[in-house]
Structure 1
Amino acid sequence: MLKIGQLVVRNSRFISNIELKRTLATAAAGQPKVETEKNKDAKLQPNMSFMANMFRGELEASQVFPYPNVLTEEQRETLNMFIDPVTKFFTDVNDPVKNDDTATIDPVTQAALWELGGMSFQVPPEYGGIGANNTQYARMGEIVGAHDLGVGICLGAHQSIGFKGILLFGTPEQKKKYLPMVTDQGRVFSAFCLTEPSSGSDAGSIKSRAVLSADGKHFILNGSKIWISNGGIADIFTVFAQTEVVDQKTGKKRDKVTAFIVERGFGGVTNGPPEKKMGIKCSNTAEVYFEDCKVPVENVIGEVGDGFKVAMQILNNGRFGMAGTLAGTMASCIKKASEFAANRLQFGKKIQEFGGVQEKLARMATLQYAAQSMAYMISGNMDRGSQDYHLEAAISKVFASEAAWYVCDEAIQIMGGMGYMKETGLEKVLRDIRIFRIFEGTNDILRLFVALTGIQYAGSHLKELQKAFQNPTANLGLILSEFSNRAIRSVGLGGIDLSGHVHPSLQDSAKLCAESIELFGRTVEQLLIKHGKNIVDQQFLLNRLADCAIDTYAMVVVLSRATTSLNNKLDTAEHERLMAEAWCIDAYDRIQVNNKKISNPAFHKLHEKQSLISKKICENEGVITVSPIDV
């Protein structure tokens, strides 16, 4: 079994099906809507994802233009009712320094969180929650991220993933029983139990096992899970374990993952001591053990054997929230750095007048703007009922987590020694931020997920064209259409045109974005033609491709948001225009560089050398060279 994914290619050198079942399983949810051997006869709905279509070099604008505005007046009023109390909680009740020093959230603070409704923001009102949609949840995440990421992890582990499976897939009976428990009514913490000692990114290798009892009434669960947020304080767990299922086609038995709702009260559920971590110290992280735990059959989430689908939908459904939360964190960092720059005198000038500081602050602001724009773009599409947001959600997690690290690090740099001091608060933020590039799908895995899933969608189109040539008379329309489009593009006509979607003042930026989309589509096609099924092994190229995709998506979302602000004549519109223009110039340059790396043999040789260096270091289990004076 391949580490990155299995490819099934039948009568074609193009990819017909990339099964992201192992390493990519933790990163992905839902199958891209392309024709595979399994569903080729099914009538599929068109994939409306902007990113998926960009891999074909095509523009699908419906989910990016215009910028979504999904809240009703009543929903805005409900949201506004919570903003002041939540902000007041973080300024008057919560003490992030104390939380960090004691590595706990004290009972008074916990009680205040429950009373606010912050622990059950998305639970429907009929079960005791607030009933917030995704956009409202993203706004609350911003406030949390601006104040205390440790508390944010406790909140997110509880509702973004802890009981999210019950919300998404629970039966009416499961919802009626468990959702009131995780609200202020029951004040019971929940946790999401997927990772094991032997399965991190490779979620398919989990060893926990659930065996159906002889009377068919219970599953007997045994196993252990590590690094579980809320693991030591939760009483309700969403647990994933291997179960034996019968293949309906072959009649053979095989293991498949199943999701369960497990109560600590079932017995056989224990946990280890809280882990000592670099950051997010006040969030409880512990190993959780299951020993002969009797789980009623009615506590299966979804169907037996559908655990991967459940796990990945939960993770995908919550990733946009990280972008919202970290946008709040970045805003807080920028505020500290800009206040310092506006008042600090050096060499007879305030440091805000120095070009180096201006460059830092401007880039920090554009990164925050892009991450925030992604969060609300995705949440808006989700609230409108879209099912085609998985690539965009993965991109938002990667982008926001890396942008937040950069912004906080640069804020410290601007403030110099003062920024390094604990008193300023940025050293805690830097420690807290680091985990976001690791958990809920590492950024390395998510980059491969974005690249390979997009390539799968593009490859299905090329395979369709290849099949058309086997019967050209019957498929003449498809063939002529394809070659007509290519011929038009080759002479500089036709192609991607964003001019009708963006504000007149952003036309130059729109051209850079359109050119990037077209270049991206050509690059994907060239990679498929050159490497075929072996593209899965070209991680060096896939990472460059993913970076191009991330930068281009960021271009689109800032153009869309700035256009809406300009059209509505918001007070911030001109500033947003400047940030959108700056981002597009900066991103366009990186996209050009990464495309050259993909096609330039010199960079391929660089990777070959890096691969050899890495192998030697691993063989030696450390640096091979010695100090020059010891030679």
Structure 2
Amino acid sequence: MFRVARIVIQQQVKCETIPIRSLKMSAVASAQAQVAEKPRAKGATQEDYSFVMNLFRGQIEARQVFPYPNVLNEEQRDTLQMLIDPCEKFFSEVNNPSKNDTIEKVDEPSLNGLWELGAFSLQVPQELGGLGLSNTQYARLVEIVGANDLGVGITLGAHQSIGFKGILLFGTPEQKAKYLPRVCNKEFAAFCLTEPSSGSDAGSIKTRAELSPDGKHFILNGSKIWISNGGMAEIMTVFAQTPVQDPKTGKTVDKVTAFIVERAFGGVTNGPPEKKMGIKCSNTAEVYYDNVKIPIENVLGGVGNGFKVAMNILNNGRFGMAAALSEKIAKMAMLHYVTESMAYMISGNMDSGSQHYHLEAAISKCFASEAAWYVCDEAIQIMGGMGFMKETGLERIMRDLRIFRIFEGTNDILRLFVALTGIQYAGAHLKELQNAFKHPTANLGLIFEEASKRVVRKVGLSSPPSMDQYVHNDLLQAASELAKSIDSFGESIEMVLIKYGKSIVNEQYILNRLANATFDIYSSAVALSRASAALRAGGESAQHERQMAEAWTLEATQRVAANLKIVSSGRNLDNFTKMSSIAKNVFKAEGVVQLNPLKL
């Protein structure tokens, strides 16, 4: 057994840690930023309790999915109910989404009403002027907002989900005491990261901040584009390149730093509101910084740590995207069920203190935005010509929905982020196993535990991991199918690592299909977890939820099998090569390559 195990592992010599940073994408590179925060023993793989992360090793890490989270105590439930009633009344009696869309701003009565409700300070601690809600409470209220007016949702989210979120997460006690009461009292906040030349790559921003000669200020110069609330914000989280001395080499290098910037500092201006396809009532504008003097005490999270600050803000805020896009079209019950289940699964994980949810948050953002678009499109189709008419309201919803697949990390990049982060985790584990063979007597436990799993798979003696202990008895069949998918997925990841090694970063066709398989596995696990909780509680909708979870899991596992077959099929891989060649030809020709059939 030992000799066979060694042979199997030696075949995997190419499975080195994937150089994710080589892609130069902020969403992908955030994985390394988060891993870097945690100390690890030399040569050891950092363990992660993320369900999704462990899928890439073909293992079930159940503690963040089963049982379905129930994190609200009685007092929190009462508080939430007290907020839900006036919130629903506000959107039915005060806010007019059609008017907001027409005038391309949130009208004053609505804006004032939202401030009075405390909607702009849901998660600010009570002692600093906010409502002090948990992530789960926040998700429920965001769900109501998103079901009524997505443009208003963006205005609220840009303010608190990302605008001043960095102060909540990284602010010093002094920074929190100074700024959080103000963002609760009619001073808008904004998150200022994106630039024309940077796109999704946070590391390539050009805005700079240089320390003043007296060492008391940073002088900020540059500009940002597409900033939500950019024309209204008085308090901004701004990211800029700063010179930092590398402690290892002593050389000065540029690193991104986050700053709290006030419009009142002077030198902060903005362009006119952008004309947009959807979410028209939300303010989006360019913001300019001309020799803005920022006190050194307004550095957020430490000099040179801006990339970590930005990624943590975005990862923390993405879970709310799923909550905002559920309940748009109630008829599409299954997609609504799965989307809603993800939103409250992740908010529950966060409220329970989890730090391992960044892949799950990325999945929920992609899943929710794509499900909502699909459901809206289908609703328009069902209504026929009436669905196309403005008075029905669906055309506004469709325009508003389109942006959700783009901002807070485009879905394309988040798919690569999920796939490459998971592959890196699996590859690092295999590398650790390879290193163990260099000193086998000191690592017998690890070698036998991990290598034997792969050996029995090679000789056909393995069985998929079991999920029976996590789900209700009525869902055992669905759970068994999902467990088989997880096992097959882990095997496919090993195959990909062996075949491609580091070059997997260039195989986007494969990465996208692995990401889609990941989405289907995670969404099924979440649905089974929620339905199991409902069956155990014996609620009125329990059997309905069981049917939705079973139906979703069946279709999802079939899609997983199809995607994994594509990844391993020589014919499909050859077709990927053809498609790559086609794309290169189009780029080279700067347009359509072939002539018109008439040759005219």
Q: Could you state the TM-score of these two structures normalised by the residue count of structure 2? A: 0.95
User: CA 1:617/1:31 → structure 2, altered by over 3 Å: closer, same or farther?
Assistant: closer
Aligned partners of 2:517, 2:528: CA distance in 1, in Å? 17
List aligned pairs for 1:127-166, cutoff 5 A: 127-166=128-167
Aligned partners of 2:43, 2:209: CA distance in 1, in Å? 34
1:6 aligns to what? none
Shift of 1:624: 2.4
8 Å Cα contact 1:157/1:192 also seen in 2: yes
1:333 aligns to what? 329
User: CA 1:588/1:19 → structure 2, altered by over 3 Å: closer, same or farther?
Assistant: closer
Aligned partners of 1:265, 1:602: CA distance in 2, in Å? 62
1:157-180 deviation line (CA, Å, top 9, x unaligned): 000000000000000110001000
1:388 aligns to what? 356
8 Å Cα contact 1:30/1:309 also seen in 2: no
User: CA 1:309/1:295 → structure 2, altered by over 3 Å: closer, same or farther?
Assistant: same
Whether 2:289 is the aligned partner of 1:290: answer: yes
Shift of 1:575: 0.7
Aligned partners of 1:296, 1:170: CA distance in 2, in Å? 14
1:199-230 deviation line (CA, Å, top 9, x unaligned): 11122110000000000000000000000000
Shift of 1:16: 2.4
2:3 aligns to what? none
1:66-117 deviation line (CA, Å, top 9, x unaligned): 0000001100111000101111111111000000001011121111000000
8 Å Cα contact 1:221/1:295 also seen in 2: yes
2:535 aligns to what? 566
Task: Describe the SS at the equivalent of 1:593.
Answer: helix
Whether 2:379 is the aligned partner of 1:435: answer: no
Aligned partners of 1:32, 1:460: CA distance in 2, in Å? 16
8 Å Cα contact 1:142/1:324 also seen in 2: yes
1:485 aligns to what? 453
1:502 aligns to what? 471
Shift of 1:605: 1.5
Aligned partners of 2:29, 2:98: CA distance in 1, in Å? 35
List aligned pairs for 1:194-593, cutoff 5 A: 194-327=193-326, 331-334=327-330, 338=331, 364-489=332-457, 490-593=459-562
Aligned partners of 1:37, 1:178: CA distance in 2, in Å? 29
8 Å Cα contact 1:157/1:190 also seen in 2: yes
Aligned partners of 1:86, 1:28: CA distance in 2, in Å? 38
Aligned partners of 2:240, 2:36: CA distance in 1, in Å? 30
Aligned partners of 1:42, 1:309: CA distance in 2, in Å? 23
8 Å Cα contact 2:334/2:548 also seen in 1: yes
8 Å Cα contact 1:509/1:584 also seen in 2: yes
8 Å Cα contact 1:34/1:460 also seen in 2: no
Whether 2:596 is the aligned partner of 1:595: answer: no
User: CA 1:325/1:501 → structure 2, altered by over 3 Å: closer, same or farther?
Assistant: same
List aligned pairs for 1:33-44, cutoff 5 A: 39-41=40-42
1:105 aligns to what? 106
1:306-327 deviation line (CA, Å, top 9, x unaligned): 0000000000001000001111
Shift of 1:40: 4.1
User: CA 1:209/1:381 → structure 2, altered by over 3 Å: closer, same or farther?
Assistant: same
8 Å Cα contact 1:21/1:204 also seen in 2: no
Q: Which amino acid aligns with 1:510?
A: A
Structure 1 residue runs of 4 or more that deviate by more than 6 Å after TM superposition: 32-38, 42-45
Q: Which amino acid aligns with 1:121?
A: L
Aligned partners of 1:449, 1:596: CA distance in 2, in Å? 22
Shift of 1:590: 0.8
1:265-294 deviation line (CA, Å, top 9, x unaligned): 000000000000000000000000000000
Task: Describe the SS at the equivalent of 1:460.
Answer: helix
Q: Mean alpha-carbon deviation: is it higher for 470-479 or for 387-396?
A: 470-479
Aligned partners of 1:444, 1:161: CA distance in 2, in Å? 21
1:345 aligns to what? none
User: CA 1:36/1:271 → structure 2, altered by over 3 Å: closer, same or farther?
Assistant: closer
8 Å Cα contact 2:514/2:563 also seen in 1: yes
Q: Which amino acid aligns with 2:477?
A: D
1:13-39 deviation line (CA, Å, top 9, x unaligned): 223253437643245645488799995
1:417-455 deviation line (CA, Å, top 9, x unaligned): 111111111111111011011001001110010011101
User: CA 1:211/1:217 → structure 2, altered by over 3 Å: closer, same or farther?
Assistant: same
8 Å Cα contact 1:219/1:296 also seen in 2: yes
Aligned partners of 1:171, 1:248: CA distance in 2, in Å? 24
Shift of 1:483: 3.3
User: CA 1:135/1:37 → structure 2, altered by over 3 Å: closer, same or farther?
Assistant: closer
Q: Which amino acid aligns with 2:328?
A: S
Identity, % of aligned positions = 62
Aligned partners of 1:173, 1:33: CA distance in 2, in Å? 25
Shift of 1:503: 1.0
Shift of 1:621: 2.1
Q: Which amino acid aligns with 1:130?
A: L
Aligned partners of 1:204, 1:28: CA distance in 2, in Å? 9
Shift of 1:592: 0.8
User: CA 1:431/1:584 → structure 2, altered by over 3 Å: closer, same or farther?
Assistant: same
User: CA 1:35/1:333 → structure 2, altered by over 3 Å: closer, same or farther?
Assistant: closer
Q: Which amino acid aligns with 1:18?
A: P
8 Å Cα contact 1:32/1:457 also seen in 2: no
Aligned partners of 1:27, 1:177: CA distance in 2, in Å? 34
1:457-515 deviation line (CA, Å, top 9, x unaligned): 10111001111111222222222222332344454554310111111111111011101
Shift of 1:527: 0.6
Q: Which amino acid aligns with 1:49?
A: S
8 Å Cα contact 2:497/2:504 also seen in 1: yes
Match of 2:581 among 579, 589, 612: 612
Task: Describe the SS at the equivalent of 2:26.
Answer: coil
8 Å Cα contact 2:328/2:372 also seen in 1: no
Q: Mean alpha-carbon deviation: is it higher for 13-22 or for 566-575?
A: 13-22
2:51 aligns to what? 50
Aligned partners of 1:223, 1:21: CA distance in 2, in Å? 26
8 Å Cα contact 1:53/1:59 also seen in 2: yes
8 Å Cα contact 1:23/1:445 also seen in 2: no
Aligned partners of 1:37, 1:188: CA distance in 2, in Å? 35
Gaps of 5+ in 1: 1-10, 339-363
Whether 2:62 is the aligned partner of 1:66: answer: no
Task: Describe the SS at the equivalent of 1:625.
Answer: coil
Task: Describe the SS at the equivalent of 2:442.
Answer: coil
Task: Describe the SS at the equivalent of 1:227.
Answer: strand
8 Å Cα contact 2:28/2:420 also seen in 1: no
1:346 aligns to what? none
1:223-281 deviation line (CA, Å, top 9, x unaligned): 00000000001111100000000011111100000000000000000000000000000
2:591 aligns to what? 622
Q: How many residues end up aligned between the 2 structures? A: 588
Task: Describe the SS at the equivalent of 2:241.
Answer: strand
Shift of 1:386: 0.4
Aligned partners of 2:362, 2:29: CA distance in 1, in Å? 8
Q: Could you state the TM-score of these two structures normalised by the residue count of structure 1? A: 0.90
Q: Which amino acid aligns with 2:535?
A: L
Aligned partners of 2:36, 2:195: CA distance in 1, in Å? 34
Aligned partners of 1:145, 1:576: CA distance in 2, in Å? 23
8 Å Cα contact 1:402/1:437 also seen in 2: yes
Q: Mean alpha-carbon deviation: is it higher for 570-579 or for 603-612?
A: 603-612
